[in-house]
Structure formats: C-alpha cells, structure tokens
Amino acid sequence: MGDLLLAVDQLVEKHSLNGSDNLVTFATGKNVVVTIEAETSPRHRDSSRVQSTMLSDYKWDGTQLRPTSDRLLSVAGNFLSYRLSHDSSVEAVRVFERESRQRSLIKGFRDAIVDLAWSRTTNMLAVLDASSNLYVYHVTDKCGIQKHVNLRWEDEDGCELLKGATLANLDAQEEEKENPSSRNSTTGGPAYSRPRLIWCPYVPEDEEPTEHLNMLAITRGRSVHVVNITALKAAMPEGAEFIDLAAAREIEGAVMTEQLEHPITTLCMSPDATAMAVGDTSGQVSFFIIEVASIKFAHNWRPAAMTSPVKDLFFLDNCDQGDSFWRFCMAVDEEGRQLFLYECENWTCIGRLRMESSMKNGRFMVQVDPTARYVLLTDIDGANLFCIALDYHASGAPSFAAITQIGFYHPIMAACAFDVKDVEPPTSDFSFDDDDGHSTSDKAETVISLISITPRSVLHVDVTVEKPEKKDYTLSELASPRTAVGSGDHTTAPIESSHTNPMDLLSPHIPHASGRGSGSRLEGYDTMNVSASSADLTAVMKMFEELSAQMDKLTHRVERADEERRAAATNESIVKMLTQFKEEFSLREDRLLANISDLIETSRAETIAVVRNALNENSLAVENSIQGNHKISTEYVMKVVSERTKEALAQMVIPSIDRVCTQLFKQLNDQFKEGLGQFMTQMRVQQAAMLASTVASTPLPSGIGTDRSALLHLIKTRQVQLAFETVLNQADESALQFVCRQIDPDELFGNVPGGDGGLSQPVLLSLLQQLSYKLDADTDLKFRYIEHLLEALQPYDESISVHVPKVISVITDALTEFQLRTPNASLKRQARVITQLVRNLRN
C-alpha cells in the first residue's frame, strides 16, 4: 500500500494545448503540468465557444492599456466601471449599466487613477489614485452617481515617490526599483507596487440581519490601512466634501494601520470582517485580527512548495451560499503560471498546476469567478483565456478537474468575470454519429460571463465550456498504468457499438427487403395485381435478391469499419500507454541515479566517521590509561597523608575547636533570640497603629468588613501583588471581584514595564483561571483582564509550565459555553477574539 501511495504522490499529469477549444480533463488534478504549444495556423476569428456583444465603442491607445490594466476594470452585477483618459491631464471613470445601457462619467480626481473596485454587497464603487486618495461613490439603480466618502491622504508613511505621479512615471519608477535580471519584460514587475484597494466581502451574521458593514483595505508599500467606510461616513460633518487622514485617525475605528517588514503583494479580508491575510515579497503570509479600533497579529504562514512570493491569494469561498469560509485557498506565483491549492486547517498543499510555454509571453492575469468554480487565466500577449475547472469532493476539498483554451482574434487588454451559469443538455432519445466517429450528442455545459476590453471596444463575452465529469478514483485505480494513460487521452473518438443495425445506414429511397416490412409490401403487391404474370414475379424476386446482396455488402462494410475504428483506438491507447511508461521509466531512472549517488555519499561519510571514531577511541583509551595510573598513585599518596593528618587533628586540634565553637554558638543563639523577639514586638505595634489609623480615617461602605478595608489599604499603598495573593489564597470569589473592580486593568498592565503589572507568573496564571469562572457577571471587566493576562503570561516559565495546559483547557471551555449561551453579538465577537488568542498561546 505504501508503494501505491508513493506512486500517486509522484504522478505528474502532463497535458498539452495546441489552440483547440476542446475540454482537457485531468485524472487526479493533484500535480498537473500543462504545456502551451505554438499554433500551426493563424487565427481568423474568435473561438466557436465565444459569443460577444459590444457594449461601448471606445478607442484606447497603447499607453492607456498596459498589462497591469486589469485592475482598471471592475464588474459587479449589472454595473461595470473602467478608466478613461483622453490625455495625460484628464482622468475619468465610466460607470455603465448593462441591461438599460445607461451610463455616467465621474471626474475630478486629484491624481492618476491606479485602482477601482465595486463592493460585493452594495452599489458602492471605490476609486484610488496614485497618491492614495480614496473616492467612494454610491450608484443608484438608474446609474446616478452620489459621492459617499472622500478620504484625502497625507504623504506620511514613506511613499513620497507616489505623490503627483502619472501612470507612465509609476511604470518607470517600478522598472528602476526592480532587479533587471528578474523583471518580466512585459509587465515591468511590481517591485514597488502601486497602491491597491480590496473590499471586504461582508456577510452579516444570522443573529444580526439588519447590521451591515462597509470596509475596505488599502495597501501602500509596506503598509496596510483598514478603512471602515460606515464609521467614517457616520462621523463626517453634514455636507462635508472630504475628510483628511489626520481627522480620520481621530475617529475610533475609522482608519487602522499595520506596518510590515517587506512590501505587500496581496491581501484578503474575511467575510465576517474580523481577519485579514497579507502576503509580502519575502514569501510569507501574515494573518491579523481586526478589532473595533485596532489590528492584532495572529500568526504567519509560509506556503509549502512555493519558491517565489505569493502574488495573488484567493480563498475559495462562495459567499452567496454556505456559512463556512476560509477552508481552502489558492496561491499564485509572481508570473501567474503556477497555482497551488491549500487546505487552511493544517496548511497542506492538496494540488498544484503549472503552465509551461516556449513562447515568451508576459505574466498571466489570474482571477476566480464569484462562485469559486473556475479559475480564469488571461494571456494578454497570446490573446488566450484559460478556463480551469475546480471539482469539489464530498469533503469540500477542491481539485483541478479540467482546462479549456479559448482563443480570441483581437487582443484582450482586460477581462473580468461576473457570472457563471450551468446549461443542462436537452433530453433526447436519439444520438447521431458522424462518419469520423465523433459524437455529436449534447453535453452539460457552463456559461461564464465576462466583461472584456479590447483596443477598440468594451464587450460582453459569454464563454461556453463543457462541464467535466466528477471522478472518484480509488487508490488502486490511480496507481494503475491503464488509468494513468487513459487519463491523458483527449482526442480518441468514442468507439461505436458493434450492434449497430446495418439497415439504418440504407438510403431512405431503398426499401427494406427483410422482416415484416417486406412481407407487407409483397402482400399488398399480390392484392393489387391478382392477375400478375410469372415474369413480374420473377422481376420482384430478382430485385429482392439484389437488395439482399446490397444489404450483405453494407453489413460487411459496417463491420469492417467498426473493426478498423476499434483497432485505431486500441493502437492510439497503446501508443499513449507506451509514452506514459517511457516518461515513468525516465523518472525512475533519474530517481535511481540520485539514490545511487546518495548511497555512495552516505557510505563514504559513514566510512570516514567509523575511522575517525576508531582513532578517537584509541587515543581516548591511551589517555584514560595514563590518567588512571596517575590517579591511582595520587590516591595512594593522598590516603597516607590524610590518615597521618587525621590522627594529628583528632589528638590535638579537634577537642579545642569543639569547646570554642560550643561557647560561641551558645552566645550567638541567645543574642539572636533576644533581638528577634524585640523586632517582632515592634512590628506588631506598628501594624496595629497603621491599621487603626486607616480604619479611622476612611469610612467603610455598608456591607464591607475589615477584610475589605485591609484590601483597600493594600491597593492604595500599591501592594497589588499582595492583594491578589490574599484573595486568591482565600479562594473568595466576591473578594476577587472587589479587587478587580478597584484596579483598572489597562492602567495596571500598561504602566508597569514588561506588561505583567508587577505580578508574578503563578499569580497571573491563578488569576486567569479564577476569572474564567462565571463569565456572565462583570463580563466586560473580565474580558479586559483576560486579554492582558494572555499577553503577559509566559507559558514556558518553569514555575507554571506544568499547569498551563489545564488552565488553557478550562478557559477554552468557558469561552465556548459563553458563546453558545449569550445573545449579545458584541460580547460573542469579543469572545471569539479571545479564543483565538488562547489558541495562539497554546501553539
């Protein structure tokens, strides 16, 4: 079984695309290599699977449409928007409604437009210029434009070169900053990327159907800024045209900033607006927790099997269906030619696909359709669209299922998918096969709707692709050579059945000469011609014999055609199987040579190690022998000397020392006892006087006894450690709540260096355990204490490391039970954040 599993993991599916728009299916989709071959003939039209409709006639020039302009087209529902530029000084955005063909134009931007995007849940359009100024507009159903928020940026985080820049200058600056040896000649490479904006695909919770949150993130160099549009709009004065960054930062939760060590390449926000994932040029993806007014770091992830930074990251969520998000994701490399599928619990790579081509094309633009069923790769230089189908298994895990190459006659400068619909084949009782053996029966298909920009127009494009069949292979089937070879067969026509009725191939004007039809015909002939002569009967029989001979010839031809077709299919399968065996043998030969080299190197290293160990052991044995002899002689001399010295001391020195020490210790004990008694008497008197003065000067509240007064005194004299130790040792919950109410946790943990509030680790752990009980009372205060305690706790401290797992389990159960019990959504969200902090502490 292990050998079979190894064979499946090392299996590399190799497929080729030569310009045909046929569906190419994958066997397992775990490790796929797709080779793009050069087309032998020029294109004269778009693919037959493409149906396009012109929406707008607008002629762009070459400087306005560059390979990075996919970000300057955005589609959501019936609305689409794209950038217009008449010259270097005029910037505008066209908003278009597809069904009614109504349109509007937005002008008045302070700098060159670098990004625009629609909100997934509302008719809001966000536009970002080169200076990171943010413009948010609300679009009505009749394509009316209403300015919603305008956030003007201040150049304060190290991006001076973006201020006042045009798109052409940005491209030149990117090329100067990028390493020339690694920069793609077509795209220029985003070494110092332009500002980008990403909307949060907000999905409200079931218990809060009326609450809606408009939030987006802006990436700018190494900084990410989370902007809460809802909070910003609510705090803006009535009639205000704009708000600057300084004023926006004073609004709680309006603008939150996080700084990374490396430039940012991609960003994703969770549908519940509580987390975000940020990828940088170091190849690392950082996860953050978005709170009401701050951003907290959660953990880092470095994608396995990727050798380059993550350029694009897509979480395969269908936000319109289902309530489980961020289970699986897809990472894309810098060139857009390698796709990796990961599951988000253990971050295991569950699939990879690599596009290879001998042609020097630019970077592929990668996008995922709104239903997360298709991955679309736009090849701008080759005028191709590659539609990669994702197959979701019963466990919900995706895999690469198939790929379809769609060729266009005119260049595509940008494309954006907005809808995917399934088209079921019409039901029919008949199927017709052509002479070449290719089936013409209808198959289940999917229509992918896109908006594309060509150098002369804006088009609505419907691409029809075949739906791949779901395949559930067992482990033995995946390891079978027959299955592996058969999976790569994409051109063999279906073999016709050997039971085809030869009479169906006759022309309609030739009558059937067998069966009930012929009998009926003769019977009718005799009825109509009762006096027919024997000559006529002979002619009829002769015609019958001729028809029988023709039928036999046709039957023979059909059988021979079936045999030839089956032989051709079998030969092609054998050739492909031999090709698969050849590739497998090449891989095994390479692995064998590598294993032999490793074995030789390992043997050499082991031989050297054995010789070195033998020499070391011999030298060590000689050294030990010398040291042993020296030790024996030394011990004998020391034994004789010590015996003689011991005898002298026992007879002369020890008795006198014993007498002197006895007298000295007696005097010391008497003096120490007397001084200690006097000190304890003085301390009792001082404590009694101090307690009496405190009680006399401070009136006690009703219901609080002398113990509360003593605790108040300890708190006022800044003996917080002693106060907490007292209530924790007494296991008095009311006293603990009393002490917690008297001390502000933010002030306690924020003013003491180290963030531990001056409390020892055992006290912190015990306090965390006690506060996790009965979260229904003083919930907000307890949550504040718990957050600070989790940050200050050191789980590997020797004094508490044994008890930390049990305490973590107790607080996790308490938080889970609290989330199920409480109806308060705010406290529930805060409990989820604390649960994530507890998990980070456990990890």
pLDDT in tens, 676-689: 777 766 665 665 55
The reported pLDDT for the residue numbered 426 is 60
* Residues 559-585 pLDDT 10s: 888 787 777 777 777 876 787 677 667
Average pLDDT over every residue of 187-202: 69
Q: Whole-angstrom Cα distance, residue 136 to residue 197?
A: 11
DSSP state of 496: P
| Percent of the chain at pLDDT exceeding 90 | 20
* Residues 741-752 pLDDT 10s: 888 888 778 765
pLDDT band for 702, please (50, 70, 90 cuts): very low
Q: Dihedral of the CA atoms 57, 60, 66, 71 (nearest 10)?
A: -40
Average pLDDT over every residue of 824-838: 83
Between 477 and 770, whose confidence is greater? 770
Q: Whole-angstrom Cα distance, residue 231 to residue 243?
A: 13
Residue 90 has pLDDT above 50, yes or no: yes
The reported pLDDT for the residue numbered 611 is 92
Residue 8 has pLDDT above 90, yes or no: no
Residue 458's SS3 state is strand
Question: Can you tell me which residue has the tokens 């077509």?
Answer: 186
The reported pLDDT for the residue numbered 733 is 79
Residue 267 has pLDDT above 50, yes or no: yes
Listed in sequence order, the residues at least 6 apart from 584 whose beta carbon sits closer than 8 Å to its beta carbon are: 481
Residue 422: strand pairing partners: 446
Tokens of 722: 């002693």
Inter-residue long-range contacts of 569-575, CB under 8 Å, 24+ positions, other chains counted? 569/492, 569/493, 569/495, 572/489, 572/491, 572/492, 573/485, 573/486, 573/489, 573/492
Buried b (16+ CB within 10 A) or exposed e, 812-831: bebbeebbeeeeeeebbbbb
* Residues 176-186 pLDDT 10s: 444 443 343 33
Q: Whole-angstrom Cα distance, residue 439 to residue 419?
A: 29
- Please state, as a whole number, how many other Cβ atoms lie within 10 Å of the Cβ of residue 267: 22
Rounded to 5°, the CA angle 419-425-428 comes to: 165
- 189 contacts 174 by C-beta, under 8 angstroms: yes
Residue 126 has pLDDT above 90, yes or no: yes
Residue 639 vs residues 114, 243, 628, 642, 646: alpha-carbon distances, Å? 91, 93, 16, 5, 10
The reported pLDDT for the residue numbered 314 is 92
CA gyration radius, the chain: 41
From 222, 88, 223, select the one nearest 164 (Cα to Cα). Answer: 88
Between 713 and 439, whose confidence is greater? 713
Residue 118: strand pairing partners: 125
pLDDT band for 536, please (50, 70, 90 cuts): low
From 76-85, 271-280, 361-370, 479-488, the region with the lowest mean pLDDT: 479-488
Listed in sequence order, the residues at least 6 apart from 757 whose beta carbon sits closer than 8 Å to its beta carbon are: 720, 748, 749, 788, 792
Residue 630 has pLDDT above 80, yes or no: yes
Tokens of 809: 């389990």
Q: Whole-angstrom Cα distance, residue 103 to residue 41?
A: 40
Sign of CA dihedral 466, 467, 470, 475: positive
From 753, 812, 828, 750, select the one nearest 785 (Cα to Cα). Answer: 750
Residue 497 has pLDDT above 50, yes or no: no
Average pLDDT over every residue of 99-113: 89
Listed in sequence order, the residues at least 6 apart from 748 whose beta carbon sits closer than 8 Å to its beta carbon are: 720, 757, 788
Residue 230's Cβ-count burial label (10 Å; 0-12, 13-18, 19+) is: middle
Average pLDDT over every residue of 441-464: 86
Between 147 and 532, whose confidence is greater? 147
Residue 506 has pLDDT above 60, yes or no: no
Q: Whole-angstrom Cα distance, residue 202 to residue 221?
A: 25
pLDDT band for 534, please (50, 70, 90 cuts): low
Average pLDDT of every residue of the chain: 76
| Percent of the chain at pLDDT exceeding 70 | 75
* Residues 581-617 pLDDT 10s: 776 676 677 668 778 888 898 898 999 999 988 988 8
Listed in sequence order, the residues at least 6 apart from 319 whose beta carbon sits closer than 8 Å to its beta carbon are: 120, 201, 203, 271, 325, 370
Q: Whole-angstrom Cα distance, residue 116 to residue 93?
A: 9
* Residues 760-783 pLDDT 10s: 888 888 888 888 888 888 888 888
From 20-29, 221-230, 514-523, the region with the lowest mean pLDDT: 514-523
Which helix or strand (DSSP H or E) is residue 33 part of? strand 31-36
- Beta strand spans in 691-733 (E): none
* Residues 239-249 pLDDT 10s: 888 899 888 89
The reported pLDDT for the residue numbered 385 is 93
Q: Which of 76-80, 594-598, 648-652 has the highest mean pLDDT?
A: 76-80
The reported pLDDT for the residue numbered 5 is 33
- 303 contacts 283 by C-beta, under 8 angstroms: yes
| Global pTM exceeds 0.75 | no
Average pLDDT over every residue of 263-268: 92
The reported pLDDT for the residue numbered 488 is 35
From 98-112, 287-301, 533-547, the region with the lowest mean pLDDT: 533-547
The reported pLDDT for the residue numbered 382 is 86
- 122 contacts 149 by C-beta, under 8 angstroms: no
Q: Dihedral of the CA atoms 470, 474, 480, 482 (nearest 10)?
A: -30
Residue 756 phi/psi, 5° resolution?
Answer: -100, 5
The reported pLDDT for the residue numbered 322 is 60
DSSP assignment of 363-422: PPEEEE-TTSSEEEEEETTTTEEEEEEEEE-TTS-EEEEEEEEEE-SS--SEEEEEEEEE
Residue 145 phi/psi, 5° resolution?
Answer: -110, 125
The reported pLDDT for the residue numbered 302 is 92
